[in-house]
Amino acid sequence: MAPSALMPANGPPCGRFDLVSFARRHGGVTKYALGRGSRLFAQGELANEMFYLDQGQIQLSVISVQGRRAIVGILTAGDFCGETCLAGEPKQLATATCIADSVVARIAQPIVTRAIQQDPGFAEFCVTYFLNRSARLTERLISQFFDSSESRLARILLQLSNHGSERGPTVIRNLDQEALAQLIGTSRSRTNYFMNKFRELGHIRYDGYNYVVVHDSLSQVVSHQNRFAAPDGPNDRPDRRATS
Domain ranges of the chain: 19-143, 147-220
Using the predicted structure, report yes or no on whether residue 107 has a pLDDT greater than 80.
Answer: yes
In this predicted structure, which of 29-43, 98-112, 161-175, 209-223 has the lowest mean pLDDT?
161-175
Phi-psi region of 69 (alpha: psi -120 to 50; beta: other; left: phi over 0): beta
Q: Under the phi-then-psi rule, with left for phi > 0, alpha for psi from -120 to 50, and beta for the rest, what region is 136?
A: alpha
- pLDDT class for 163, splitting at 50, 70, 90? confident
Q: Residue 61: helix, strand or coil by DSSP?
A: strand
Express each pLDDT in 6-37 by its tens digit. Answer: 334 344 344 568 999 999 999 999 999 999 89
Distance of CA 194 to the CA centre of its chain: 21
The dihedral region occupied by 44, where left means phi > 0, alpha psi between -120 and 50, and beta the remainder, is left
Q: Do domains 19-143 and 147-220 have the same CATH topology?
A: no
Q: What is the mean pLDDT of residues 120-142?
A: 88
Domain spanning 147-220, CATH class:
mainly alpha
Predicted local distance difference test score (pLDDT) of residue 106: 96
Judged against a pLDDT cut of 50, whether residue 239 lies above it is answered with no
Q: Evaluate if residue 147 carries a pLDDT over 60.
A: yes
pLDDT at residue 10, as a whole number: 40
Instruction: Give domain 19-143's CATH superfamily.
Output: Jelly Rolls (2.60.120.10)
